[in-house]
Amino acid sequence: MTVIQTTNQNDVTTTDAHPLPASLTTFFAAGAGFSVATIYYSQPLLGMLTEQWQVPAQQIGWIPSLTQLGYALGILFLAPLGDRYDRRRIILTKSGLLMLALLAAAAAGGLMSLLIASLGIGLMATMAQDIVPAAATLAPASRRGKVVGTVMTGLLLGILLSRVLSGLIADWLGWRSMFVLAALSLLAIWLVAWRTLPRFQVTSTLPYHQLLASLFHLWRQYAALRQASLVQGLLSLSFSAFWSTLAVMLHGAPFHLGSAAAGLFGLAGAAGALMAPVAGKQADRIGPVKVAMCGAALVVFFFLMMTGMSLAATSVTLQLVVLAVGTVGFDMGVQISLIANQTLVYSLEPAARSRLNALLLVLMFVGMTLGSVLGNLMLAHFGWVGVTGLATVTAVLALLLRMKKTA
């Protein structure tokens, strides 16, 4: 029996006979989705910001880079606190601070102030990684997988739809309005969390420095963890190099498309979300390593296809068609690999799943940060073919590393 101790009216005791209410599961899914979406709202806006502030695309590229770096740092240094302190308090604190960071971004008068706000957004958006274990804690054992799957679906939808929404809103109301609306969504999350979330029993009395030290112990102990994390980090580098430069590329010649068009490419990620449960089932059936290899191979294939199209002299329409198909394909491959690598990592030490997942995600977002920086450098010096070429090379490295047997 799972018992969550609380001192207010939100006392919750979950058992197989008294499952987690559907309304609370829905809240967890929405909270994860709205919080993680804040990492990606800026990406379709980059072309618009480059034009408005008259700064080089390479400098504008630091906006998503610092957001993703903040998320990686938040996972590494803040996620372990979920074992040490009441998760209700953590979720309320992070959602409030995330709202303030979004309002600071909306009020930014120049690039430097927006960069600082972007770092804060990344740090506080890690509340998504507090919500998932909170849902797992409240769920009865017999339904835990289903509950966590529902919450992860919300998280994936937040990633997928954020670019679409941001591009459309920015074209309609301007880029500042997107950050204001995002802050309002976090205000709603805060109010619902304050009203419905129970207080969580602390599960560890380890001092903060010992919680962090255990991360390094796990990293040294499991070669499979290191391999899975590095593979996903390389694929995330490819992923981020593409997405952090797409809006700027589409904004210029020969496409001359607005932020809404860049945002609509985010719909391609829906294929990746649909493949997540399929990838999980296949990981159980044939093993996560084989499934992760298939995912990495898909990423290699579709980036090779886009690189070839970049080198060929073809019509704008054909280039856009290939770009759309390639986006669907490589995003599907990244999602398949992520689910498979998570499945592998979770099996290493069940008692340390949160910390194992944190290490995997840290490498993933370090890869995304490097992808933003290197992708913008490639775009500035070599054009779009430099971006897709970089993504292809890192995806090939990921595939080769995934094929290597661990000791």
Question: What is the C-alpha to C-alpha distance for residues 251 and 253, in angstroms, rounded to an integer?
Answer: 7
Provide the residue range defining the domain that includes 193: 18-205
- Provide the pLDDT confidence category of residue 140 given band limits of 50, 70 and 90: confident
> What is the DSSP pairing of strand 2-4 with strand 12-14?
antiparallel
Q: Which of 187, 205, 223 is the last residue of a domain?
A: 205
Is pLDDT above 60 for 207? yes
Tell me which of 144 and 233 has the higher pLDDT.
Answer: 233
- Taking the C-alpha atoms of residue 143 and residue 213, their distance in angstroms, rounded to an integer, is 32
Q: Is residue 252 part of a domain?
A: yes
Cα(243)–Cα(248) distance, rounded to whole angstroms?
Answer: 10
The enclosing domain of 301 has a CATH number of 1.20.1250.20
* Contact in structure between 339 and 349 (CB atoms under 8 Å): no
Per-residue tokens: 394: 């890192």
User: What SS3 state is found at 2?
Assistant: strand
Instruction: State the residue for tokens 């609509």.
Output: 264
CA 56, CA 244: separation in Å to the nearest integer? 14
Phi, psi (degrees; rounded to nearest 5) at 194: -60, -35
Find which of 122-131, 135-144, 149-158, 273-282 is predicted with most confidence, using mean pLDDT.
122-131
The one-letter amino acid code at 182 reads A
Instruction: State how far the alpha carbon of 2 is from the alpha carbons of 11, 19, 28, 89, 140, in Å.
Output: 12, 10, 18, 19, 7
The domain tally of the chain equals: 2
Q: Give the other-Cβ count within 10 Å of 7's Cβ.
A: 8
Do residue 210 and residue 132 come from a single domain?
no
- Average pLDDT (74-79) is 87
pLDDT tens, residue by residue, 354-404 = 778 788 888 987 898 899 889 989 999 999 999 999 999 999 999 999 998
**Whether residues 154 and 253 fall in one domain:** no
Mean pLDDT of 238-244: 91
Q: What is the pLDDT, as a whole number, of residue 18?
A: 53
Q: Is residue 342 part of a domain?
A: yes
Task: Tell which of 188, 205, 222 closes a domain.
Answer: 205
The yes-or-no verdict on residue 183 having pLDDT over 70 is: yes
13 pLDDT above the threshold of 90? no
- Among 42-56, 338-352, 386-400, the range with the most confident prediction by mean pLDDT is 386-400
Identify whether the C-beta of residue 128 lies closer than 8 Å to the C-beta of residue 35.
yes
User: Do 108 and 174 lie in a common domain?
Assistant: yes
Most confidently modeled range among 158-172, 181-195, 243-257, 353-367: 181-195
**Looking at 161, 187, 205, which one is the last position of a domain?**
205
Residue 3: strand pairing partners: 13
Pair 90, 174 in one domain:
yes
Question: Does residue 360 share a domain with residue 272?
Answer: yes
Residue 7 has pLDDT above 50, yes or no: no
Is the domain of 113 the same as that of 194? yes
pLDDT at 268: 65
Q: What is the pLDDT of residue 274?
A: 66
Share of the chain above pLDDT 70, in %: 86
Looking at the fold, whether 261 and 126 belong to one and the same domain comes out as: no
| Mean pLDDT calculated for residue range 43-66 | 86
For residue 389, the model assigns a pLDDT of 95
Are 218 and 179 in the same domain?
no
Q: What average pLDDT does the segment 239-259 reach? A: 82
